[in-house]
Amino acid sequence: MRGDGSGDGCGDGPDDGYGDWVRDFEAARELRAALGDPDWERGARLPAELVRSLQKFQVGEDGDGSALIGKADRAGGATYSAAVRLFIAEEQNHARLLALLLAAGGAGTLSGHWSDAAFVRLRRLLGLRVELLVLMLAEVVALRYYRAVRDGAADPLVSGVAGRILADEERHVPFHCRRLAEGLAPLPRAARRAVTGGWRVLLLGAAVVVAADHGPALRTLGVSRRAFVRDTVRSSAAMAGAMTGGMAGAAPAAPAAVGGPVRGSAGV
C-alpha cells in the first residue's frame, strides 16, 4: 500500500525500514554537539574569489525544506519522514557554518542567487522522485566542491569547515540513493536505466554551469574547471547504479569523525 497518492512510486507505507538512517543522523548530531563549533575567533583568510563562491553555496544550503518534508510525509513512511527532517537540519547547519565562516573572514551572506532559485523550481515540479533526482544533482556537485575547498584552501578554518560539511554530504548521497532505488523499482529495468542516464546528462550540465560560475574560486583551490566537471561526472556512475537497485537495502555506515580524517580536521 503506497499511501502517498502522488503516483511516483516512492511510498513504502508506515513501516518503511529507515530506522537505521534515523539513528545515523542522530549519531552525527550527537557527534557535532560533542565536538562543538570551530574557533571562529581566530578569523579566516578568504580570497575574494572564494568569498563569492562560498556565498553562493551558502544560499543553496539554506532553506526550510518544507516541500521535501511535505512529499516525504505524503509517502507514508514515519521513519523516512523523520530521517528527512534530520537531513534538512544538517543542511541548515551547513548554511549556519558557512555564514559564520564568511563572517570570520569579514564577509556577509547573499539574500539569494539565481542558481539556487533554479534548483528549487525544478525540485518542486512533480513528486518525491523528481525532487530527489534534482536534489541529487546538487548533492553530487557539492561533494566535489567541498572536497576542493577542504583540500585546496590555505586557511585551516576554511579547510576544517569544508571537511565537516563534506563528511555530512558523503552520508547524504547513499541515503537519497536508497530512496530513489525504491522509487524507481516499479519501473522496467530499461526505464530505470533511461532515468539514471538522463540524470547523468543533467548532472553534466549542472557541473558545467557550476564550474563556469565558480571557476575563479576553483582556480585558487588548485582545481581546473575541466577537472571539476570530469571528476563530478565520473563519480556519478556508482550513484546511478545504486539508484537502479545496486544498494537499495544498504544500511548507513557509522558517522565519520566530523571534519574528515586528515585535512578536514585542521583548525577545528
Cα(28)–Cα(34) distance, rounded to whole angstroms? Answer: 10
Q: In the prediction, which pLDDT does 22 show?
A: 95
Q: 127: which 3 cell numbers?
A: 513528486
Q: In the prediction, which pLDDT does 194 show?
A: 95
Cα(13)–Cα(78) distance, rounded to whole angstroms? Answer: 8
If 0-12 CB within 10 Å is exposed, 13-18 middle and 19+ buried, where does residue 248 land?
Answer: middle
| Cβ atoms of residues 139 and 68 within 8 Å | no
Q: In the prediction, which pLDDT does 174 show?
A: 95
Q: In the prediction, which pLDDT does 256 show?
A: 52
- Residues lower than pLDDT 70 in the chain: 1-16, 112-126, 246-268
If 0-12 CB within 10 Å is exposed, 13-18 middle and 19+ buried, where does residue 103 land?
Answer: middle
pLDDT digits (tens, 9 = 90+) for 251-267: 555 455 444 433 333 33
Q: In the prediction, which pLDDT does 172 show?
A: 96
pLDDT digits (tens, 9 = 90+) for 145-190: 999 999 999 999 999 999 999 999 999 999 999 999 999 999 999 9
Q: At what angle do helices 66-74 and 78-104 cross, to 10 degrees?
A: 170
Q: In the prediction, which pLDDT does 255 show?
A: 52
Q: 262: which 3 cell numbers?
A: 586528515
Q: Residue 1 carries which DSSP code?
A: -
Task: Let me know how long the chain is.
Answer: 268
If 0-12 CB within 10 Å is exposed, 13-18 middle and 19+ buried, where does residue 125 land?
Answer: exposed
Q: Residue 154 carries which DSSP code?
A: S
Q: In the prediction, which pLDDT does 52 show?
A: 95
